[in-house]
Structure 1
Amino acid sequence: MDSISFDAVTVRVTVDGTDAPKTLLQDVSLDLTEQRIGVIGANGSGKSTVLRLINGLVEPTEGKVLVHGEDTVTAVRKVRSNVGFVFTDPLSQLVMPTGREDVELSLRRSVKNGRERAVRAESVLDRFGLLRLADQSIYELSGGERQLLALAAVLAVDPKVLVLDEPSTLLDLRNRELLRRSVAGLDQQVIMSTHDLELAADMDRVLVVDAGRILFDGAARDGIACYRELCAAEVQS
């Protein structure tokens, strides 16, 4: 069952200093089958919660999330083997001193032979135009190069689903376009939250999240128009 389903999912969290839990997401039901899905909405709307539910970083308070038939709570290890997650800030997930070492670390579980692992890492780095930077400190790389490196490290293990949480936030125009082309050429199902409406326009389907609910679910152009109207109404109020 190659789909991602949300069945009446609600997420509540307890916030320090408050008596009542805060609702981050309310009664969301979705069946995500399209190849490219964009998630847009204001900061704090619940976008990141939707994404983090997909690989078990957040658990539902009510309802359940299934990824290719596997429950994200009871089968979280299997789910995470199928779902690659790229965070907004690549330094939050690049843990080794260089890109070569980080990609090899990603491959350690699936490729046991060290020589084979090194060859595979070089191939992945070359695919993203990063081979010349493979042995530089990650702190010497630009924001765009780090983001592409984080993407390469996640894709090295060939997940079935790629989730990107606002991946263009730290990128300049050149690296944003490089990211855009890289994502467009992937075989994986891609689910991406973004404030970049041009990136959202590339998607097959767009979800607009507002105050923890799915306000719109449909074609990218219509979803972007809905979001623009929502933002305009909030500015005028």
Structure 2
Amino acid sequence: MDQAVDISGVTLVREGVRVFDGFSLRLSERRIAIVGRNGSGKTTLLRLIAGLAEPKAGRVTVNGVDVLRDRAGALNTVGILFQNPDHQIIFPTVIEEIAFGLEQQGRSRTEARALAAEALASAGRTDWAERLCHTLSQGQRQLVCLIAILAMRPDWVLFDEPFASLDLPATLAIERRIAALEPHVITVTHDPARVAGYDRAIWIEAGRIAADGPPAEVLPAYAAEMQRLAGLEC
């Protein structure tokens, strides 16, 4: 099976603003970084890939699955970790939160809870099963969301600013877990240093690709431009 994200001629309008206009992109590398300023379209791009945003025109497929129209196929193919775990967690306890996605894949409640328990054990967090999610720190809630995604065994995992609002220990812990993942990874971040070792970097500016290539080339160019803009705003 061809492991690739294909975005073909996508036009997307959000709240009267044209975010993408005939945008096309193909992604197949194991580790892909996306950088850009706020409002550039980075998060919207991830939502398109996850099938959570509907374009006005064009098509998005992940490993051949039309993620917008085939929701069951999308659940088996791509998972997304939002910037704020509180926008993602909907159940009181950790075990319920992890089991939910597995039930959405068609598993029985009993099987889903058993698989959720296995996922927690694999992450070394068996003692979290009956913990109330709101009692966990932000970094811990972020980890719960990641465990829930990985339990569904997607081919692609999307991260929207996974290091935002985390202290250094939590940031390093999430960074290590991302580095060890088997699925393809796409990470949106404002911190180029966290993705310097990736296979490919894409700089998005106003819904267009400003640069695309090796991180060693794209990230310094992006950082230099951000420094230039910061100087103009001072």
Counterpart amino acid of 1:12? V
Pair 1:111-2:107 in alignment: yes
Counterpart amino acid of 2:96? E
Name the residue aligned to 2:78.
83
Counterpart amino acid of 2:11? T
Distance in 2 between residues matched to 1:6 and 1:204, nearest whole Å? 19
With 141-150 and 181-190 compared, the bigger mean Cα shift is at 181-190
Q: Say if 1:56 and 1:80, in contact at 8 Å, map to a contact too.
A: no
**3-state SS in 2 of match to 1:107:** helix
Q: Say if 1:59 and 1:72, in contact at 8 Å, map to a contact too.
A: no
What does the per-residue CA deviation read over 1:46-104, in whole Å, with 9 as the maximum and x for residues that have no partner?
Answer: 10011111021112223221211222333343223311111111111111111112112
With 102-111 and 156-165 compared, the bigger mean Cα shift is at 102-111
Q: Say if 1:37 and 1:206, in contact at 8 Å, map to a contact too.
A: yes
1:81-230 paired onto structure 2 within 5 Å: 81-108=76-103, 109-112=105-108, 114=110, 116-230=111-225
Name the residue aligned to 2:54.
59
1:110, CA displacement in angstroms?
A: 4.1
1:23-38 paired onto structure 2 within 5 Å: 23-38=18-33
Distance in 2 between residues matched to 1:191 and 1:211, nearest whole Å? 19
Structure 1 spans left out of the alignment, 5+ residues = 16-20
With 68-77 and 45-54 compared, the bigger mean Cα shift is at 68-77
Counterpart amino acid of 1:111? R
Pair 1:9-2:10 in alignment: yes
Counterpart amino acid of 2:152? V
With 141-150 and 103-112 compared, the bigger mean Cα shift is at 103-112
Counterpart amino acid of 2:97? D
Q: Say if 2:32 and 2:199, in contact at 8 Å, map to a contact too.
A: yes
1:214, CA displacement in angstroms?
A: 0.9
Change in 2 beyond 3 A, CA 1:9/1:113: closer
Structure 2 spans left out of the alignment, 5+ residues = none
Q: Say if 1:7 and 1:65, in contact at 8 Å, map to a contact too.
A: yes
TM-score after normalising by structure 1: 0.90
TM-score after normalising by structure 2: 0.91
Q: How many residues align?
A: 230
**3-state SS in 2 of match to 1:231:** helix
1:27, CA displacement in angstroms?
A: 3.0
Change in 2 beyond 3 A, CA 1:98/1:168: same
With 140-149 and 170-179 compared, the bigger mean Cα shift is at 170-179
Q: Say if 1:130 and 1:149, in contact at 8 Å, map to a contact too.
A: no
Give RMSD over aligned pairs.
1.7
Percent identity at matched positions? 33
Counterpart amino acid of 1:213? R
